[in-house]
Each structure stands twice: as C-alpha cells, then as structure tokens.
C-alpha cells in the first residue's frame, strides 16, 4: 500500500520556527516529514500530545473532517499549544510529488503499528508516544473537541499507571471500569480486559444497590462486556426484573432480555453441551433444559431459546443436516419472520437457504432450502439490496438441483434487477454485479457455483 505522511504544526517544525504561526492562527498548517521517530522525539521534547488523522483521498468523511472540523476555530484553539498533528494518507495518488512519496515507508509503519482498517482513523497519543485513544469515522466538532479533552485529561494518561498497579495486585475500583475498557480498546489485550472486568463486576458492581447499578455508566460497561454477565449477577437480575427501565436508559428496546437470554444460553446450553466446538454429550436433553428454563425464568420463551440453540448445534457442533433443517422448518412455522424488521426475512429464510446451497448435498434438504428461498422473495419488501440477494440464492439452489435453464433465467433476472436499482438510485455500479455475472458465467459453462473442498 502506497501512503504519504504530513505533519501539521502550529508554531515550529523540528526546531525551525514557522513565521506564520502565532496564538491567533486561523488554520492548521502542515509540513511533510518522513520519520515517525522524529515526531515522537519532538512530542517528548516539547511535552506535547500527538494527534494523527489517517485518511484516504477517496474518503468522503475524511474530506468532511478537513472542511468542517479541522477548519473550526474552536478546534484550532484547542489543538494549538498542546498537540503535534500528523495526517497520514493511506492510499497512493498519481499526483503525489517526490517529497510526499518519501513518506510512504513511515506511513506504512504507522498504519501497521495501529492496525488501521478504516478511514478516517483518529489516533491520540501522549507525549511519551503511548496510545491514549483510537477512533474511526467522522466526528462532529463538539464530539471531536471532547475527544481532545479526554486525550489530554491526566486521568486518561494515568490509566497506564493504573494498569501497572492492577498487574501488581492493587485494585482501584474508581478507575477499573474505565481501565477495563481502555485495555480492551487501546491495549488490545482481551484476556486481561476480561479479567479486569470480572474483577470489577464481582467485587464492586455486584455489591451496588439496583438503583445505583442502573446508571448509564454501568449499563455501558456491561454492554461492552456482555459475555461476562452471569445469572448470579445483580445486573442480570435487574435486566430480568426491570427490562423496560434498562432499555429506556440505553435506548434499545429488547436489549435487557437479550442479555438475559444470552447468559442463560451460555450457562444452560453452551457450557453443558459444547466444548471447543465439539459435542460433550451424545444426546442432549433438550426437553429437560426447556422445562428447567421455563420453570426458573418464566419471562423467557424457553422453547424459542432452545430451538435457536439446536439450530446452531446441528449446524456448527454436531453436524446433522436433517435435524438442522427440521429445526429451521419448526422455527419458520412457530415463529414466522418479522417482515417489519430490516433483517427479519433475510436472516430467517435467505441465510439458511444460502447455507444449505453452499454446503449441503442432500437433495431433499436442498428442496426445502428452495422453498425457504422462494418464501423470502415473496416476503421481502423493505430493501432492494436484500431482495437482490434472495433472487441470487434461488438461482443457485435451482442450479445445484440440476434445473439449469431456470437457474440461468433467475440469475439473469437478478442481474437485470440490480442494474435497474442502480439506475434508479444513480449509482455508478450495480450492487453484487461482478459476483452475479461470474455466477451466470459458471452456470452457462456448467461449472459449480458452490465452494469445492
């Protein structure tokens, strides 16, 4: 990947005064550099923070940051005396000059170091060069200024000290919430973050009253560490007994019961029956589990919960296409797809149909999958892009079942439909067009369109 690096400076560049800089600077000026170590050395020498904007020349949100955020007078004031500001171009351009191209190596180094995958990526580093925050996407001026304040807040810098203290056995509960999130997001040590989160939950959160535990701060913490919620936790009880209250605070209807059901699934189904992706018992007692869950948690639909787990179990743990397809049929019959949900039809009908097409060879099950696919086409009305994929799924199933003429006609229909949608929406290129054209070509040449092991 060819890339370029620019260093934004307000008052000096590696010891050279910038005559155009003063306390009333109205823009962010930048100079080109080719050595990341020089940036780190300058930050350390001048006790300044480092801000890095990693962008691409084609990126719309990146251009909005330039136009709307970096040109804002408040942003300029906030960054003027505290930050060395670096801008990294993450793609190559034929218009890059020699001086710009000299920064390619440095840019690659920074992109690899911080595992950048999207643009714009915003990095905030301390004077010692340690990462304090990493964000992705466009930020409004107010939100960006808040990130600047958070980065140069001594409490943020001090999180590294708290981490050292935690490793030494000292637990500061006033900072452990933020420390767990910091280790997960910035240090990128999931195991350590989970350890801190569980410590914090067991020794602090579980001792709070339900009134205190229902604060937004603690709910956000559990949202980030939801796989650490257990049925013995006070927060689990709060979600089960007062789901509407918690949902209203986090602003997501159904969030509380989703956390409850996830914890029950893990404790009553996953742990007893699966280890390392393999079955632990020959014949799981599904009925007994259903009765047990229904008795202990009457607010939970135990039949649906166990049915969904069985679908997963017979597809990903103890592969049995017949039992899997029966569970799919049962779910469709007893819990029809929600046609008002954006992903309802796609998830409940098209996805299992596509899964069967790709990996199953049993004709009876493929015929079932074809029925699921055709039903998805009948019901899907919310998204043209989803309907396009449903048409493609049906074409591939027809083809795998040997109905080649119908399959090619259906794939042509999918191609025509996606092109029509692209024209109506003013798109330059139709969605999935390359994939669909390649599929039709394989069909016309009598080649498999499904994965071949």
Residue 397, pLDDT above cutoff 90 = yes
For residue 357, which of 318, 389, 331 has the smallest C-alpha distance?
389
Domain housing 11: 4-150
pLDDT digits (tens, 9 = 90+) for 108-149: 889 999 999 999 999 999 999 999 999 999 999 999 999 999
CATH (domain of 97): 3.40.30.10
Report the C-alpha dihedral over residues 135, 138, 144, 150, rounded to 10 degrees.
-10
Residue 20, pLDDT above cutoff 50 = no
Domain assignment present for 299? no
Q: Which of 54-58, 158-162, 236-240, 302-306 has the lowest mean pLDDT?
A: 54-58
Residue 5, pLDDT above cutoff 80 = no
Among 109, 131, 150, which residue terminates a domain? 150
pLDDT digits (tens, 9 = 90+) for 168-210: 999 999 999 999 999 999 999 999 999 999 999 999 999 999 8
Residue 13, pLDDT above cutoff 70 = no
pLDDT digits (tens, 9 = 90+) for 258-315: 999 999 999 999 999 999 999 999 999 999 999 999 999 999 999 999 999 999 999 9
Residue 11, pLDDT above cutoff 50 = no
d(CA 432, CA 429): 9
Residue 362, pLDDT above cutoff 70 = yes
Among 125, 150, 175, which residue terminates a domain? 150
- Higher-confidence residue of 24 and 314: namely 314
Q: Count the neighbouring beta carbons within 10 Å of the beta carbon of residue 266.
A: 14
Write out the DSSP string of 289-315: HHHHHHHH-TTS-HHHHHHHHHHHIII
Domain assignment present for 424? yes
Q: What integer pLDDT is reported at residue 32 of this predicted model?
A: 63
Average pLDDT, integer, range 228-243: 97
Domain assignment present for 285? no
What mean pLDDT is reported for the chain? 91
pLDDT digits (tens, 9 = 90+) for 73-119: 999 999 888 999 888 888 887 777 777 677 788 888 899 999 999 99
Residue 426, pLDDT above cutoff 90 = no
d(CA 376, CA 351): 10
Domain assignment present for 380? yes
Domain assignment present for 368? yes
Q: Count the neighbouring beta carbons within 10 Å of the beta carbon of residue 89.
A: 23
- Angle (nearest 5°) at CA 258 between 301 and 134: 165
- Angle (nearest 5°) at CA 409 between 405 and 411: 115
Q: What integer pLDDT is reported at residue 25 of this predicted model?
A: 57
Decide: 432 and 439 in contact? Cβ < 8 Å: no
Which tokens sit at 46?
A: 């001048």
For residue 450, which of 359, 372, 338, 320 has the smallest C-alpha distance?
359
Q: What integer pLDDT is reported at residue 139 of this predicted model?
A: 96
Instruction: Measure Cα distances from 75 to 140, 145, 411 in Å.
Output: 11, 6, 52
Q: What integer pLDDT is reported at residue 19 of this predicted model?
A: 35
Query: pLDDT class for 4, splitting at 50, 70, 90?
Result: low
Q: What integer pLDDT is reported at residue 106 of this predicted model?
A: 85
Question: Which distant-in-sequence residues (6+ apart) come within 8 Å of 363 by Cβ?
Answer: 401
For residue 374, which of 356, 357, 389, 390 has the smallest C-alpha distance?
390
Rama region for 375: left / alpha / beta (φ>0; ψ in -120 to 50; rest)? alpha
**Counting beta carbons within 10 angstroms of the beta carbon of residue 304, is it exposed (0 to 12), middle (13 to 18) or buried (19 or more)?**
middle
Query: pLDDT class for 17, splitting at 50, 70, 90?
Result: very low
Query: pLDDT class for 255, splitting at 50, 70, 90?
Result: very high
Residue 347, pLDDT above cutoff 70 = yes
Q: Which neighbouring-strand residues pair with 69?
A: none
What φ, ψ does residue 176 adopt, rounded to 5°?
-70, -30
Q: What integer pLDDT is reported at residue 291 of this predicted model?
A: 97
Domain assignment present for 395? yes
Which tokens sit at 324?
A: 């899997």
Domain assignment present for 203? no
Among 88, 115, 150, which residue terminates a domain? 150
Query: To which H or E segment does residue 30 belong?
Result: strand 29-32
Q: Which of 55-59, 63-67, 294-298, 346-350 has the lowest mean pLDDT?
A: 55-59
Number of domains in the chain: 2
Share of the chain above pLDDT 70, in %: 93
Q: What is the pTM of this model?
A: 0.81
Decide: 388 and 410 in contact? Cβ < 8 Å: no
**Terminal-to-terminal C-alpha distance of the chain:** 32
Domain assignment present for 228? no
């Amino acid at each position: 990947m060819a890339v370029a690096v620019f260093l934004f400076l307000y008052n000096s560049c590696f010891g050279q005064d910038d005559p155009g800089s003063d306390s009333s600077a109205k823009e962010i000026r930048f100079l080109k550099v080719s050595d990341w170590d020089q940036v780190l050395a300058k930050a350390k020498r001048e006790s300044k923070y480092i801000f890095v904007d990693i962008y691409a020349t084609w990126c719309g949100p990146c251009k909005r940051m330039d136009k709307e955020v970096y040109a804002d007078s408040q942003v300029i004031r906030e960054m003027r005396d505290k930050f060395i500001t670096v801008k990294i171009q993450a793609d190559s351009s034929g218009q890059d000059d020699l001086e710009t191209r000299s920064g390619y190596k440095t840019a690659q180094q920074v992109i690899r170091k911080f595992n950048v995958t999207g643009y714009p990526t915003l990095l905030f580093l301390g004077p010692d060069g340690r990462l304090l925050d990493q964000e992705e996407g466009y930020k409004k001026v107010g939100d960006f200024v808040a990130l600047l304040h958070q980065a140069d807040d001594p409490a943020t810098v001090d999180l590294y000290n708290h981490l050292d203290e935690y490793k030494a056995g000292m637990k500061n509960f006033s900072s452990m919430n933020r420390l767990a999130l910091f280790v997960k997001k910035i240090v990128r040590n999931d195991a350590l973050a989970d350890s801190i989160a569980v410590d914090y939950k067991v020794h602090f959160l579980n001792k709070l009253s339900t009134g205190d535990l229902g604060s937004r701060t603690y709910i956000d913490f559990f949202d980030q560490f939801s796989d650490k919620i257990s049925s013995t936790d006070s927060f689990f009880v709060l979600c089960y007994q007062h789901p509407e209250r918690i949902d209203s605070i986090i602003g997501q209807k159904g969030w509380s019961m989703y956390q409850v059901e996830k914890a029950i699934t893990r404790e009553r189904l996953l742990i007893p029956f699966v280890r390392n992706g393999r079955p632990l018992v020959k014949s799981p007692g599904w009925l007994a589990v259903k009765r047990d869950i229904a008795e202990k948690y009457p607010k939970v639909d135990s039949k649906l919960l166990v049915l969904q787990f069985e679908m997963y179990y017979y597809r990903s743990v103890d592969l049995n296409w017949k039992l899997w397809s029966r569970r799919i049929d049962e779910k469709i019959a007893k819990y029809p797809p929600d046609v008002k949900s954006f992903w309802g039809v796609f998830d409940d009908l098209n996805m299992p149909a596509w899964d069967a097409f790709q990996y199953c060879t049993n004709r009876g099950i493929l015929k079932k999958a074809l029925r699921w696919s055709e039903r998805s086409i009948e019901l899907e009305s919310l998204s043209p892009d989803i309907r396009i994929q449903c048409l493609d799924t049906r074409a591939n199933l027809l083809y795998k079942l040997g109905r080649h003429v119908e399959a090619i006609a259906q794939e042509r229909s999918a191609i025509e439909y996606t092109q029509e949608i692209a024209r109506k929406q003013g798109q330059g290129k139709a969605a999935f067009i390359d994939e669909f054209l390649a599929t039709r070509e394989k069909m016309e040449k009598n080649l498999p369109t499904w994965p071949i092991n």
